[in-house]
Every structure is written in structure tokens, then in C-alpha cells.
Amino acid sequence: MNKEEILSKVTEAFVSVLEHNNFQLTDETTADDVDGWESVTHMMIITEVEKTFNIKFKLMDLMNMNNVGDLIKTITSELGQ
């Protein structure tokens, strides 16, 4: 699975949780850039991403994620790519 495919699935997870698609995810996107991405919805997004990719993030990985690019790198790593 390439980066674009991962980003597409991540975007679907965000839309599912936030119930809108009024955003464009890039490597630099943070919670400040997306309406509704707050602490509670953050955990819902993480859970949705884990279900989508059938992975489980490690606590340290979650703590080290600062933006969508970090999320994609972590997903790629968890998928063994």
C-alpha cells in the first residue's frame, strides 16, 4: 500500500468520525487545522484508523505523533512496509 492509498484511507477515517469533509489532509496537518479534531475525537480517529488498517498503535508512537505525516509514517511502519 503506497502513501497515497494510506492517506486516502486515513481521510475516510477522519470523515467518518468528524462527519464532514471540509479539510485537506497533508503531512503537515495538525488538529489545529481541522474543525472538530479535539481530544475526544482524536481518540475516536485513532481507533477508526486502527480498525481500518487492522493495527494497534504503541503508546510511544501515539505520543510522538505531531501531525498527519507522523501518523502515516507510523501506519507504514506497523504494516511492515
Q: What is the CATH number of the domain that holds 68?
A: 1.10.1200.10
Residue showing cell 475516510 = 12
How far apart CA 15 and CA 68 sit, in angstroms, is 14
Q: Please, are residues 31 and 9 in contact by the beta-carbon 8 Å criterion?
A: no
Q: What is the pLDDT of residues 15-55, one digit of tens each?
A: 999 999 999 999 999 999 999 999 999 999 999 999 999 99
Total structural domains within the chain: 1
- pLDDT given at position 81: 66
Distance between start and end Cα atoms, the chain: 8
Which domain covers residue 15, as residue numbers? 3-78
CA–CA distances in Å: residue 74 to residues 3, 20, 21, 62? 11, 24, 23, 9
pTM for the structure as a whole: 0.93
